[in-house]
Amino acid sequence: MEKAQMKRVSFVKTMDRKEGVSKSLLTLGVNPAKGKHVMIKPNFNTADPVPGSTDNETLLALVDELWAMGAKSIAVGDRSYPVTKEVMAQKGIVPVLEKKGVKVLDFDALTEKDWVHVKPPRSHWPDGFRVARPVLEAECLVSTCCLKTHQYGGVFTLSLKLHVGVVPTSRNGFPYMSQLHQSPAQQEMIAEINAPFSPDLVVLDGIEAFVDGGPMTGKRAKGELFLASTDRVAVDAVGVAALKVLGSNSAIMDRKIFEQRQIARAVELGLGAASPEEIDLIPSGPESEPYRDTILKVLKTG
């Protein structure tokens, strides 16, 4: 397959978050933000320290890069597992973002008209689900996720799982999150949430990882990496390969990457890379190549 047809994922070996953000974007070599109203979807599921949630330094570095890329405006929005307003307050992120000219959106506070009902064909969601309108209407959607496992049925929570936060916990008495977490098809339902929209950029902070447990707390390992791509399935595939290299739980180690149900369903839906052969994992420089090669070998073998 020619490189032009492949899904590019930039790879940076680093323990510095600002360097990780800047080098991953520079290596990827795209600018979807220029002249656009940008919406950033972080991991604010809870306020737990990274990788339990997006590190403030990563988010602020990403904001600075997007302004430098020529964004017309930037907003950050999410829906948390506890009360979103309280999670943002615990992280101390709102005043800092506002000083940088960023609008902060609490999806809990959206009105009924700003939750759009979606019912994809052949979905495992019996009655469909709702998606936050700011995500669906974003001129440029940027998603930034962590590197971790998920002990409550999701197996891993990378860029696909990140977008569960664009669906309400409940709405009009309908418990969307209870339906998701109680379903035997939870992993397929996670992928299906991603069907109505497509991020223009995905940045994964893998400096620290949960290799077991998660998403709030878990067994930690030093991931020492950053990824960036325009393809969320490619990011998740590389992320699972990284978890395998770090030594994860049996749900990660004992199943081939593209047989993971989140990824397999995303491929069925045409959301991104369909095989390891479609992924071009690009090191940021010679210092990143050996680690990239190790993860690439695992990616290719599954």
Query: Per-residue confidence of the chain (302 residues) as pLDDT tens digits?
Result: 444 479 999 999 999 999 999 999 999 999 999 999 999 999 999 999 999 999 999 999 999 999 999 999 999 999 999 999 999 999 999 999 999 999 999 999 999 999 999 998 899 999 999 999 999 999 999 999 999 999 999 999 999 999 999 999 998 889 999 999 999 999 999 999 999 999 999 999 999 999 999 999 999 999 999 999 999 999 999 999 999 999 999 999 999 999 999 999 999 999 999 999 999 999 999 999 999 999 999 999 98
What does DSSP say about strands 201-213 and 102-106: parallel, antiparallel, or unpaired? unpaired
Whether the Cβ atoms of residue 238 and residue 227 lie closer than 8 Å to each other: yes
pLDDT digits (tens, 9 = 90+) for 185-244: 999 999 999 999 999 999 999 999 999 999 999 999 999 999 999 999 999 999 999 999
- Supply the pLDDT for residue 2: 46
What pLDDT does residue 4 have? 43
The amino acid occupying position 93 is I
Give the per-residue pLDDT at 152.
95
pTM of whole model > 0.95? yes
**Cβ contacts of residue 154 below 8 Å, gap of 6+?**
161, 186, 187, 190, 215, 262
User: Which element (helix H / strand E) includes 96?
Assistant: helix 94-99
